Amino acid sequence: MKSKILTIAMMGVSMAISAQEKTYTGIELNGANPSPSVNGFVNKIQFTGASHGSIVFNPGKTNELMFGFHSNKRFYWGTGRSASKPNFYSMILHGETGNLYLPGNIGIGISSPNESLTISKSGASLGIYDTNPLSKANNRIARYGNSLVIQNDLSGSWTDNINFHDTGRVGIGTHNPTEAKLVIKSSTLPSLSGNKTGAIAVVGYNTELAIGASSELNGGSWIQTRHSSTTYPNHAYTLALNPLGGKVGIGTSDVPTDFKFAVVGKMITEEVKVQLKNDWPDFVFENTYQLPTLKEVENHINKKGHLKDIPNTEEVRKNGFYLGEMDSKLLQKIEELTLYTIQQEKKIENLEKENTQLKTINEQLLDIQNRLKSLEQKN
């Protein structure tokens, strides 16, 4: 009975308001629930018995503000509605799915946004929080100083992941990418054994290519290829570069102190140029050069088992040899052999001359001998 009285009273108030414009300091609606809501809330104003209901504010008789709920389970919020655009709604909210439709731009801290979403305020940020219990961190996009940053709170505080600087540079793990257009840094050292922290990694089917920099190589950098198969267990140090000493290692990061380039494994090339700073062994052809005699060479071979100034087998196995230095020593031996050959050629020529002379003398002696025999026979 009380509910009916309240409803009649409300109708009376509505009719009075419609019939005559009046100013009220406030309208208070009290009473019990005419009909409990879905969630049991106490309803002060309730629309029932129609396909939809709305509250409309139309003070200027031209544009209006309308709040309405339709039987299609959508909540409509329309501002600026007029006779020329009666179906314009600033917002539509689906009652069951929670989907929100906004046909215009949204401004936070700005009244006239030019983008779909415009945030204009000091320290503006946009948070993305995942309620999935498996998610280990939240993210946010924020504007700080001269950069737009993407952050996460994995460590308990907001940390920059990607930094887009106003200069067009991009930083990953750094808020000030001044070194290049793309700068990647890490607070932990990347390991060449497979941990790609702070590295750029390109991952394929069972293979990967990683590029990184590490103080483990005294400020060096590396290019690494790896294979997941145990058949290739030692592919961690494919190419290591040390900018401080200008050193390069292929298949190893251990480049000896006195060397610039180290390769573990075989190497094939069509051409190698060695340019020595020391003199080439043309001194062998100088008149002042003391060419060892072949007897001296023979004695050294018999005593040492190798040529003079050439390392023996054990020395090469232990220390290797320098290609340029070895080529120089071998050329020296070739030039010495050339001198020996020239000397022998001269000796051969002299022997041939002597042989010719001996032949002539022999022929003369034979001729004398034949004449003597002939004279003896006549007597």
Q: For the chain, give every domain's residue range.
A: 116-185, 189-268, 282-378
Supply 10's token pair: 């409300």
Q: Has residue 11 got a pLDDT over 90? A: no
Q: 197 and 186 in contact (C-beta within 8 Å)?
A: yes
For 130-153, what is each residue's pLDDT tens digit? Answer: 888 777 788 899 888 888 999 888
Supply 325's token pair: 């230095």
Q: Which residue has the higher pLDDT, 64 or 351?
A: 351
Residue 339: pLDDT band (50, 70, 90) is: very high
Q: Which residue has the higher pLDDT, 212 or 23?
A: 212
The model's pTM: 0.47
